[in-house]
Amino acid sequence: MPCRHHKPKRKKAKLRRGKSLGRPRVLAHVPNRSPGAKGYIKRKISRRRPAPVRTVAPPSNSREPRPAPVRTVAPPSKSREPRPAPVTSSLRPAPEQQPLRAVVKGARVFRFNCPNCDGLIEVEHINCGIFRHGIRQVTGQQLNPHASKKECEAEPIFGCGKPFRFDPMRGAEKCDYI
């Protein structure tokens, strides 16, 4: 590293043919030197922004009243009634609120007459093809087709309560099942 009183030499920027290296440098003469005198120095004009001027607050006198600090107060809360939880599809309604007959979207509903008493029957699902003509008066559900005769006579029902076989291709026919 050079001594303190010697300045390092700067390399001159070479201009390429047809291209400039950005903004041209503005040089200023150092005061108290003439261009012909020995030791003539050119220096780059500083392009730095001037430092911001800081304002100093006047000293506060203890005699002058100070304004009270401003406090923000939250508005009074309005009492609201608690909202019930939203009902999702995973929650089932209470038994009192359930419809008597569930409606299944897109399911095929079969309507036919009972071969024993000619009463109208609506069936949504056909598992084994055996049915009992009867709906419980209390709950509105269809009777279990595999229930015994004793179970069917124990509670009040709408219909004859007799078993029969149903095939969508052939229709309803009597059956002595159970």
The DSSP code sequence of 4-31 is TTSPPPPPPPPPPTT---SSPPPEEEPT
Domain limits, the chain: 110-174
Bridge partners for 77 per DSSP: none
Q: What's the token pair of residue 66?
A: 């100070």
Q: What's the token pair of residue 70?
A: 């401003």
Model-level pTM greater than 0.85? no
Torsion angles phi and psi, residue 32, rounded to 5: 65, 20
What is the full per-residue pLDDT of the chain (178 aa) written as tens digits?
566 666 767 666 665 555 555 555 555 555 555 555 555 555 555 556 666 666 666 666 656 666 666 666 666 666 666 666 655 544 555 555 444 444 444 567 777 778 778 777 777 767 777 777 788 888 888 787 777 778 778 888 888 888 877 776 766 667 665 5
